[in-house]
């Protein structure tokens, strides 16, 4: 069980307790994620993440361990590359209108809706603002 798994489980068990949600958010921001991409998309510095559509929503996939990525990809792993991004970088780069699936297919799966992603982007901006103020 990773630290992110623990924070997801604690946040879910807390039934909406803001402190537990914030602990999950802080862990998510610090976590290094593996973003599955099309195999050919790493030929240059840009990449095209794999995505999926469900009920009219688009989802980007992210995994916190190679093992979870491999379990999800199964026999298709040879057709997939991945890039590593911090949670902070992931949030900064996710397109508008896209949801995020963390650790799809695992016991500690977490889906972030568009509104939650926007909240987290503001959360990161506030943290950076506080750090910049302390650095002065």
Share of the chain above pLDDT 70, in %: 96
User: Is it the case that residue 103 has pLDDT exceeding 70?
Assistant: yes
Asked whether residue 19 is domain-assigned, the answer is no
Asked whether residue 107 is domain-assigned, the answer is yes
Q: What is the CATH number of the domain that holds 123?
A: 3.40.1350
Asked whether residue 81 is domain-assigned, the answer is yes
Asked whether residue 98 is domain-assigned, the answer is yes
Residue 9 and residue 22: Cα distance in Å, rounded?
A: 13
Q: How many domains does the chain have?
A: 1
Asked whether residue 26 is domain-assigned, the answer is no
Residue carrying structure tokens 């379990």:
71
The total number of residues shown for the chain amounts to 136
Whether 69 contacts 36, CB under 8 Å: yes
For position 43, what pLDDT does the model report? 56
Let me know the angle formed at the C-alpha of 69 by 14 and 10, rounded to the nearest 5 degrees: 10
User: Is it the case that residue 128 has pLDDT exceeding 60?
Assistant: yes
Asked whether residue 110 is domain-assigned, the answer is yes
Instruction: Write down the pTM of the prediction.
Output: 0.89
Element (H, E) at 102: strand 98-102
Asked whether residue 6 is domain-assigned, the answer is no
Asked whether residue 12 is domain-assigned, the answer is no
pLDDT digits (tens, 9 = 90+) for 34-79: 999 987 755 556 778 889 999 999 999 999 999 999 999 998 899 8
Domain ranges, residue 122: 33-135
Whether 9 contacts 42, CB under 8 Å: no
- Averaged pLDDT score across all residues of the chain: 91
């Amino acid at each position: 069980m990773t630290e992110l798994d623990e924070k997801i489980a604690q946040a879910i068990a807390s039934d909406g307790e803001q402190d537990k949600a914030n602990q999950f958010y802080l862990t998510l921001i610090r976590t290094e994620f593996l973003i599955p991409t099309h195999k050919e998309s790493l030929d240059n510095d840009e990449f095209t993440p794999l995505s999926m559509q469900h009920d009219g929503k688009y989802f980007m996939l992210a995994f916190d361990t190679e093992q979870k990525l491999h379990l999800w990809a199964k026999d298709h792993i040879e057709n997939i590359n991945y890039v590593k991004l911090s949670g902070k970088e992931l949030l900064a780069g996710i397109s508008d209108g896209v949801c995020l699936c963390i650790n799809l297919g695992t016991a500690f799966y977490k889906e972030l809706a568009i509104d939650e992603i926007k909240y987290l982007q503001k959360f990161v901006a506030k943290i950076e603002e506080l750090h910049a103020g302390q650095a002065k």
